[in-house]
Structure 1
Amino acid sequence: MAETTSLPAPERAALAAGVVRRLSHVARAIRHHMDADLAALGLTPAAARALDRLDPDRPLPARDLAEQLNCDRSNVTALVDKLEEAGLVCRRADPADRRLKTLVVTDAGRRAQVRVRRVLGDSRLLDGLGDDELATLGDLVEKISNGGCPEDCGGS
């Protein structure tokens, strides 16, 4: 349920615009740290996202990964090539349909997934918040994100 507003429309619009600018700054800072940490692992953000989406216990056809990432199959092929070159995944024939290649996460890929997930969940920018503040921020972010981002804008 939305709270009632008591600010005049121009003041509310100015306040909201300031919040959006600060949120954009926080998003850029998170992305900067994330990109640097992923680069230190030898991964691009796209390759890390692809690796993160793979279930190490369930081989997945590349076309399904493309669907999960909401991108073209040719882009996934390039990502998988990079992951395969790094020894993080391998392509194997599907036992049920040998014409179909599935992506299998290697042991090195499993270890990399742990590191990638640590990077993707890095919360260092929130270290200055108390427990109550963090909970409140979580509630507010959930409230605004529930009606905002379509699936293809980079959400989880």
Structure 2
Amino acid sequence: MESPSPDDRPGLAGDTVRRILHVAAALRHHQDEAVAALGLTPAAARALHELDPDHPLPARDLAEQLGCDRSNVTGLADRLEQAGLVERRVDPTDRRQKTLVVTGHGREVRERVGRVMSDSRLLDGLTTAELAALRELVWKVSDGGCPEECGEV
């Protein structure tokens, strides 16, 4: 495929978007493989990553953080509990509700999930200056950050 000329702004933009999507797909592929090696699905890994080990969280709050239905979180919590990564405990401030508590093993796996989500091997070929420039450009096109809707990992 021939690259667009520097004067072809729409062509350059389209090519850039396709390349960004390719990089995103490659990152997702590497993350999914690494998460699977931990015995987790991408959704379960994301749920575990969203849980703060020092602050138990009701499943409904986790559903809100993940932007999904509570029924989906029930299944995720079941899988995490079966794997020994979380426990359901009665909330001491509201005994009608249960919270999700990250176990000791869950803390270890959560830390590994965090490393997987920060895997930067695709960027290894960049110099520090190139990496800094790429970060600035990505920051700029993401409007100075990530909108709420793109919180998905």
- TM-score for both structures, normalised by structure 2: 0.92
Q: Does 1:95 align with 2:101?
A: no
3-state SS of the aligned residue for 1:43?
Answer: coil
- TM-score for both structures, normalised by structure 1: 0.90
> Which structure 2 segments of 5+ residues have no match?
1-5
CA 1:82–1:119 in structure 2 vs 1: closer, same or farther (change >3 Å)? same
How far apart are residue 31 of structure 1 and its match? 0.6
How far apart are residue 148 of structure 1 and its match? 8.7
| Equivalence for 2:50 | 53
CA 1:79–1:155 in structure 2 vs 1: closer, same or farther (change >3 Å)? closer
Q: Does 1:65 align with 2:62?
A: yes
Q: Is the 8 A contact 2:139 2:145 kept in 1?
A: no
Q: Is the 8 A contact 2:66 2:152 kept in 1?
A: no
| Equivalence for 1:86 | 83
Q: Deviations over 1:6-35 (max 9, x none)?
A: x65xx1000111111111110110011000
> Which structure 1 segments of 5+ residues have no match?
1-6
Tell me how many residue pairs correspond in the alignment: 148
Q: Is the 8 A contact 1:88 1:105 kept in 2?
A: yes
Aligned counterparts of 2:143 and 2:58: Cα–Cα separation in 1 = 30
Aligned counterparts of 1:104 and 1:110: Cα–Cα separation in 2 = 10
Percentage of matched positions with identical amino acids: 67
| Equivalence for 2:3 | none
How far apart are residue 97 of structure 1 and its match? 1.0
RMSD of equivalent CA atoms: 1.5
Q: Does 1:105 align with 2:115?
A: no
Q: Deviations over 1:98-152 (max 9, x none)?
A: 1110000000000001100000000000000001100000000011112796422
Q: Deviations over 1:44-91 (max 9, x none)?
A: 111000000101011000000000001000000100000000000000
Aligned counterparts of 2:9 and 2:118: Cα–Cα separation in 1 = 32
